[in-house]
A and B are shown apart, each in its own frame.
Chain A
Amino acid sequence: MSLLEYFLRHQREILQATVEHIWLVGVTMLLSVAIGVPLGVLVTRRPWLSKPILGGANIAETIPSLALFGFLLPVPWLGGRADRLAIAALTLYALLPIIRNTSAGIAGVDAAVREAARGMGMTERQILFQVELPLSLSTVLAGVRVATVLTIGIATIAAAVGAGGLGEFIFRGLAMVNNQLILAGAIPAALLALGADFLLSVLERRLRPAR
C-alpha cells in the first residue's frame, strides 16, 4: 500500500488528530501570549525582574519535554486531564521566545520617540498601548512565530500523556515499527509548522513599521 493510499484510507482519523493538534497549539498560544506579553512588558518596567523571569523561562526551556509532562502529572488540577497537562507544559515552553521578543521589541523603540511621547504629556499607559506596543508588534509577532513552530513540534509528544493530536500516530507507529503510521503523524505536523511559519511571517512583515 502506498503512502498516499494509506493517507486516503485514514483521512478521517488523520484529520481528527490534526484538529486536536491545532486545538492544543491554539490554546497554548493564546495562553502563552496572554502570559508572556505582560511578562515581557514587566521586564522592561522593572529591570531587576528580568533575571528571574527570563531565567525561569530559560530553565523551563531546558527541561526535556517528556520529563516536563511527567513533572506536571502530580499537580492537582493539571494532572487530572491529559489535555490540561499538555497545554500547561506546552505553554511553559512557548513563554521564553514571547517574553524575550516582547521586551526586546519595546527596548528597541527609538528613544527619541519615547521621549517625545513623554514630553507631550502621554501617560505611561498611553505610551505603552499607543506607542511602544504598536511599534514592537512585528518583533513580538516574530516571537509568537518561533513559539508556534516550536509548540507544533513539541505537541506531538503530548500524545505520550494521552492528550491526543498527531503524536498519536507517531507513538503508535514507533511501537508497531510502522513507518507509514509514523509519517501519518509527522507529515501533517511538519506541514502545520510550515504553514503557521509562513502565515505568521507574512503578518509580521505587514506589521513591521516603516522607517
Chain B
Amino acid sequence: MSSIANRASGREPVIEFRHASYQLNGGQELLSDVTFTVERGETLVLLGRSGAGKTTALKLINRLVEPSEGEVLVEGRSTIAWDPISLRRHIGYVIQEIGLFPHFTVERNISLVPRLEGWEEGRTHARVKELLEMVGLDAGKFARRYPHELSGGQRQRVGVARALAADPPILLMDEPFGALDPLTRGEVQREFQALERRLRKTVVIVTHHVSESLALGTRIGLVEAGKLAGMYSPKEFLESTEPTTAAYVAHLRMHEGIEGGE
C-alpha cells in the first residue's frame, strides 16, 4: 500500500490513532490497526465505500465506541482517560441525518451544549444569533422555527451551527452534506469552506464523495475494508496511480466533472 504521507512535523497533533482497532462483540472487525494523526487546523477527509469503517473511526474519536485494541488520543490524552461527557462537549459533532431534535426550536437546538454547560441566558442568546448569521441564516426569521419547518440545506446549516455552539476546537462531520441535492450541497460546502478558513478548527469529515473530499480536505485518508489504505494531499490523490485512487479519480472525471484542484 502507499506510504502514509506524514507531512512537516513540528506541528501539534490533536487527534492521534495508534494501531486502533474496533471489533463488534461478535468478533467482526470493523476497523483494524489504523494509525494516523490529525494536526491542529487541518481538515482530514476519510473517504471510502459505505461500510468501510469511516463512521466507526469517527466514533472512536468522541468515544461513542472504544477501541478494542490500540488507542485513540485527543489532545495527547487517550479517549479512555477522558471523561466521555467532557470529551464530547469538547468536540462538535454533525451526523448523517443531522439529528436535530424535532421537539426543539432552532434556537434550542443550537443552544443545547451552551445550556448544558450552564452559560447564562444573555450569552447563550447572543451566541445563537452569531452562529445563525455565521451559517447564513437570518436569526430573526429562523430562531423560533422547528426543524420540520426548514429545508434540507437550512437543517444542515443549523446542524453545523449547533456543532460549533460552544466553540469546540475539534469538529467531526459524518456525511454532513449527504442528504442534499447537488446544487445546495455545493453551496453549503463552499460556505463551510469559508467558515473553516476563518475558524481554523481541526476537522474530520467522513464522506463517500470524491469531489467533496478534494474540495474540503487538506488531506484525504482512503479507508477500505476497515483499513487505512492511504493518506494523500488532494494533489497527490489526483495524481496517484494506485488502482483504488485511480478508480475514484476516473469516476470523478466521468460523473462529477473535474474542478481544477483545491
- Chain A interface residues toward B at CB < 8 A: 110, 112-113, 115-123, 126, 131, 134-135, 209-211
Contact = CB atoms under 8 A, between A and B. Distances in A.
B97 A110 contact: yes
A208 to B, nearest CB: 10
Interface in B2-21: none
Interface stretch (B24-32, B86-94, B193-201, B252-260): B86-94
B64 A210 contact: no
B98 interface: yes
A210 B88 CA distance: 28
A113 B93 contact: no
Given A120-B113, A121-B88, A121-B113, A135 B93 contact: no
B248 interface: no
Interface residues of B, number: 27
A119 B64 contact: yes
Contact of B148 (A120, A122, A135, A210): A210
Contacts of B162: 120
Contacts of A115: 64, 95, 99
B88 A118 contact: yes
Nearest to B146: A210
Contacts of B90: 121
A210 B113 contact: no
B95 A112 contact: yes
Contact of B102 (A117, A118, A120, A210): A210
Could you tell me the dominant secondary structure of chain B's interface residues?
mixed
Interface string B73-117: 000000000001111111001011111111100000000110010
B113 A209 contact: no
A113 B102 contact: yes
A122 B64 contact: no
A117 B89 CA distance: 11
Interface in B51-90: 62, 64, 84-90
Interface centre among A112, A120, A122 (most CB of B within 10 A): A120
Contacts of A131: 101
Interface of B: 62, 64, 84-90, 93, 95-103, 112-113, 116, 146, 148, 162-163, 172
Contacts of A135: 101-103
Contacts of A113: 99-102
A114 B93 CA distance: 13
B112 A120 contact: yes
Contact of B99 (A112, A134, A210, A211): A112
B17 to A, nearest CB: 18
Contacts of A209: 102-103
15 contacts: A110-B97, A113-B100, A116-B95, A116-B99, A119-B93, A119-B95, A119-B172, A120-B113, A131-B101, A134-B103, A135-B102, A209-B102, A209-B103, A210-B146, A210-B148
Contacts of B85: 121-123
Contacts of A110: 97, 99, 102
Contacts of A112: 95-99
B100 to A, nearest CB: 8
A134 B108 CA distance: 14
Contacts of B62: 119
A153 to B, nearest CB: 33
